[in-house]
Every structure is written in structure tokens, then in C-alpha cells.
Amino acid sequence: MKAFNVQSGYVYQTEGYYAAGDMGGAMYLATTTGSTPDGYGDHVASNGIFLRLISDPTDLNHGVKVVSTFDPPTAWHNRNALQSMLRNERWGNFKMLAQGIYYLLGGANIGRDNVLLHIMKGCKIIGRYDDPSIPESTTSQAGQMIGFAHFFDPDNGDFIPWRPDDTRVNPQVYNVEVIVDGDVSTEYNEIHTNKYNNNVIAFLKGNRCRITGSGGCSGSDHRAFNFDADGTSSNNAGGSVSCEIDIGYSYNVVNNHCMISGSSQSSNAYGKIHIGYAGKMLSGGINSPIVARLSGGQVFEVKIDNFEGDGVIKPALVAAYNVTKILIEAGRVSGATKLLYQSNTLYSDVKVSQIYNTPIGIERAGTTAGGMKSARLHHIDYADSIFTAAYAATANIDAFSRLQIDNNNFGSASSSFVYYSNKQTAGLPIRYDNEENTSPPTFPVVDFNRLANQRRVIPITAGATTVTFDVKLPDWNFSKVTIMANTSAGLGAIGTFDLTTRLLTPDSITFQVWTIAITTTITGSSLTLTIASSGASLKAVTLHN
């Protein structure tokens, strides 16, 4: 078309970009006004007339080359084509619809608001961090394959404040949505100048931005989907507000499948992560592996339908740092180190259906006094024999308000299972509600596990005047003892005393049930009841709440 004698004011249509039928065909308006085209979406005809693209912008009508093997010049060309398209403010909606695999080299840096990018099903994009044969790929690489951020001068390597006296601020990107129905990934290579640092799709600071879709990420040498933040400059500190990740899958990732750094400067720093399937994680990287990493901000919701690790690289399912509240729901979790790493995070709520090859529920961490208020683990349907602790206190910096462990089935957990690991006086909760849980058949019973509307009946031999039973066997479920006894005259009497109070002392204590004296003695957790009144006998003993 460029070789035609095009005339200004006319509209021209092509059947392809490089060749007819290659899906790159588009319509163009011939004009003599505006800036000189860069040769990707807009072009200059041989007679000097400008050809402005007027069809909806796509990767193919911007000249992306679908080549399934990595070739630095081709991949760099593809990066430039996509960056040119996404930076063009004549449009807000973009599609990557190539059916097949193509590579990008370096990072495409998009400093715009109000953008919708749709990576279509069947489109597979692979990124490389940089290549020494193309120095510009290093200079302009901010740490992502496709990134949305208001950097200062990304083409020349000026991204965020880097000097102590640099008071510049990167503003947030607003209202950007990336729909991933295809597949995106980044590849590790030893020649990269900054190893393990190529996010697949990333934002520096987002506001009401989303990454969604039925597709996902099949590999990353850093993170798959990331809302990052500037954690080095106090003047530029801050993260994202009201941003979401909701994707079909992510696997073969080094550091995090998903991350959102919320803005501590905002009272509305809400965030949400949903992953349909999260697969195995790889070795290397700059951080301990975490499936979903959250930091800063007010309230985050995390839902992971299925995490299937390989049992070799075992990540935390979720880690929350300096968050006000974290809400977690998961279906099946296999091969994690813990469900939640709660570091200086005030409130947590964790609900998981099935747990395999994962030893810990919630782990408290962090060294900030007052950095935690409460934690809840509930409605676990199954945990296998690897599960050893519902709550583990790595940090016991101070007391906190409440620990709640309820409605869980730990019946198949480890025989060394505990509800509360590394319990220390300094870090105890003011209120500890451990209730309605099914414990393993044999385990070291330490914590009271309250069962409401249930009772345990102690067998009594007819005419017995004494009975001994273990109040914590097979579990410690009841806080009260009710005794029914007969006097020497055959008259019945019933009395109840508080078992938890009785367990506070090993001394012998005698209770009066009407006219009948009953002496209680304790050895370990075994309680002996003995009738001290002549002629009286025990009729029934029950434990209950």
C-alpha cells in the first residue's frame, strides 16, 4: 500500500500486514497532518503521505511477528510494536489476537490511564529480560515484560527516584484493565543483566486497575502478575488502591504467582487476588517463594481454588506484611509450608477445604508491638498427617486480642499435632476460642477444644463409691462435671462444678452435693471422685459445657 500513489483524504484498506491473510489487514486514512508515523501502526507512503490506522489496534496490525523461537531482533521489534500501540492515545482498547507464540525482548513501558488490553485465547507471549546484542533492551527494562507505570523517562532508564535528594513522585495509573485469556510468561537466561527480575504483567502503582481472564501465566523468572510499589524512597512511598487480580492459572513461577502492594497512605487500599489453579514454583529468585503476597493497605481478599506444589519448592500459600486485614479462602492446598504468614498484620481470617503436605495453618511473624490483633482458622474439611500446627507463633513480641480456631476437621492430622505451637506467655491472646474442632485420635492434648451441645458419659459400676477418668482423653472438650449420687437413704442428689477451675490446683478438694461429700483428687489430667459420706454411692457422671 505504501508504494501506491495514495491521496490525502482517502481511506485505504489492506488484506494483511506483511502478506494477504496474515490477520494484520486494516483500514488507513491518508493525511498530511500530525506527527510523523513510527512505522508500526501508522506509516508513511512512498509519496510522503501519512497513513493513519483507523481500524481497532491489534498486535498484528502493528507488525508483530509470530515466531516461536527466540530471535533478539525479532523480539525487540515485537516489543517496540506493542509499546507503540499501547502508548498511542488515539485509542484506549487494544487486542493481542495472534494465534501462536511470539517473543518480546525487554520491557514495554506504558505510562497511561484508562486502558483496556485484551490478550486473546490462543495468543502466547513469552518475554526475555534483555540481551547484550541490543543495549537498549537493558536501558529501558524496568523489571517487567508488559508494565503500566508513570515512570519519568523509561526509554532512557529513568524510572523511580534513585538519589537521596530526588523528591520526584510516580503517580498512580488509573483504570487500566488487562484481560488475559491467552498465555503469558517470561523466561530465565544466564545472560540477563538482572536475573530473576522479569515480572510478566506489572504495575508500579495502580488505582482501580485489574488483571483478569480465563488464561494465565505458564512461567516466570520473577512474578506472574504484580502490583508493585516503590519501597526505597520515602518521598515516593506508596502502592496500589482498589486493584484486583483474577486469573485462571499460574505455574512454573519463581517468586510469587501474584502480588499486590497496597498503599499505606490510603484509607481505601482494598485489594483482591483470585487464582483458579496455582501450580509448582521454581528455585532461584530474590525472595522466599509465596503464592500470593500482600503488603500495605487496608483489606485484602485472597481466593485460591487449587494450589498444587511439587513438594520440593514449598511456598507459603499467602503472606501478608503490614496489612490491616487479610481474608483467605482456598479449596485444595498441597505442598505449601503454611496457609498464612501473618507478619505485622492486624486481622486474619483463613478458611481452607483440604490440606495436603502442608504443616502449618497460620504463622505469626513480625517484630512490631501491636502489629497483630487477631487470627482465625476455620472450616477445614480435611488435613493430612503432615499437618502439625493450627497456629504457630514464630514471634511472641506481645499479647494480642483474640485467637480463634473453630469448626475444623483435624481428625487425620499428625499424631504430634498441636493447636498452638511455641506458646509463650508474652505472646498469648487475651481471648482464645478453640472450639468445635475434630482432633486426631491420639495427640498431645494441651489446649481446651470446646464442643457445644455434647457430653461425655463416664461409665459407673453399680454401687461404686469412686471413679477415675482422664478429663483430656482423647481430647479436652468439656469444662464442667455433673455428678448424680444417692444418699444412704436412697435419695438422689445432683451437683455440678467447674472443671477448668478445678484443674488449677493438684490439691485434694471436697465438694458438697446436697448432703453428700465428694472428694476430688487430680494426678496429671486424671480426676478421681470419691464418696466421702457413709452409705452414699455414685449413680452417674457426665462431662459437658
Domain positions in the chain are 65-103+115-160+169-367, 455-544
Mean pLDDT to the nearest integer, 101-124? 98
Mean pLDDT to the nearest integer, 422-445? 97
In this structure, whether the domain defined by 455-544 belongs to CATH 1.10.238 is answered with: no
Report how far Cα 226 is from the mean position of its chain's Cα atoms.
11
Q: What is the DSSP letter of 485?
A: E
Q: What is the pLDDT of residues 301-338, one digit of tens each?
A: 999 999 999 999 999 999 999 999 999 999 999 999 99
Predicted pLDDT of residue 45 = 94
Band of pLDDT at residue 232, cut at 50, 70 and 90 = low
- Using a pLDDT cut of 90, give the percent of the chain over it: 92
Q: What is the DSSP letter of 411?
A: T
Count of CB atoms within 10 A of residue 464's CB? 15
Q: Where are the alpha helices (DSSP H) in 418-545?
A: 499-502
Predicted pLDDT of residue 2 = 61
Band of pLDDT at residue 408, cut at 50, 70 and 90 = very high
Report residue 429 as a C-alpha cell.
491472646
Contact between residue 89 and residue 151 where contact means Cβ atoms under 8 Å apart: no
Predicted pLDDT of residue 30 = 96
Band of pLDDT at residue 151, cut at 50, 70 and 90 = very high
Provide the edge-to-edge strand list for the sheet that holds 27-31.
11-13, 27-31, 50-53, 43-44
Q: C-alpha dihedral over 205, 214, 54, 4, to 10 degrees? A: 120
Mean pLDDT to the nearest integer, 35-50? 94
Predicted pLDDT of residue 70 = 98
How far is residue 444's CA from residue 419's CA, in Å, rounded to a whole number?
A: 10
Contact between residue 505 and residue 523 where contact means Cβ atoms under 8 Å apart: no
Q: Percentage helix, strand, coil, to 5, in the chain?
A: 5, 45, 50
Predicted pLDDT of residue 164 = 82
Contact between residue 480 and residue 498 where contact means Cβ atoms under 8 Å apart: yes
CA distances from 518 to 33, 465, 466, 507, 513 (A): 104, 9, 9, 14, 7
How far is residue 295's CA from residue 305's CA, in Å, rounded to a whole number?
A: 21
Q: What is the pLDDT of residues 520-535, one digit of tens each?
A: 999 999 999 999 999 9
Mean pLDDT to the nearest integer, 269-284? 95
| Predicted model pTM | 0.94
Q: What is the pLDDT of residues 459-483, one digit of tens each?
A: 999 999 999 999 999 999 999 999 9
How far is residue 165's CA from residue 393's CA, in Å, rounded to a whole number?
A: 40
Predicted pLDDT of residue 269 = 80
- Of residues 354 and 237, more confidence is placed in 354
Mean pLDDT to the nearest integer, 105-109? 98
Q: What is the DSSP letter of 273?
A: E
Band of pLDDT at residue 286, cut at 50, 70 and 90 = confident
The closest of 504, 506, 446, 438 to 476, measured between CA atoms, is: 446
Report residue 52 as a C-alpha cell.
493513519
How far is residue 510's CA from residue 242's CA, in Å, rounded to a whole number?
A: 62
How far is residue 469's CA from residue 75's CA, in Å, rounded to a whole number?
A: 75
Band of pLDDT at residue 231, cut at 50, 70 and 90 = low
Q: Nearest 5°: CA angle at 478, between 472 and 482? A: 110
Band of pLDDT at residue 287, cut at 50, 70 and 90 = confident
* Identity at 28, one-letter amino acid code: Y
How far separated are the first and last CA of the chain, in Å rounded?
86
Q: What is the DSSP letter of 172?
A: P
- Of residues 236 and 261, more confidence is placed in 261
**18 pLDDT more than 90:** yes
The DSSP code sequence of 99-150 is SEEEEEES-EEE--SSEEEEE-TTEEEEEES-BTTBHHHHHT--SEEEEE--
CA distances from 498 to 356, 449, 545 (A): 38, 15, 9
Q: Where are the alpha helices (DSSP H) in 359-498?
A: none
Band of pLDDT at residue 369, cut at 50, 70 and 90 = very high
Mean of the per-residue pLDDT values of the chain: 95
Contact between residue 98 and residue 65 where contact means Cβ atoms under 8 Å apart: no
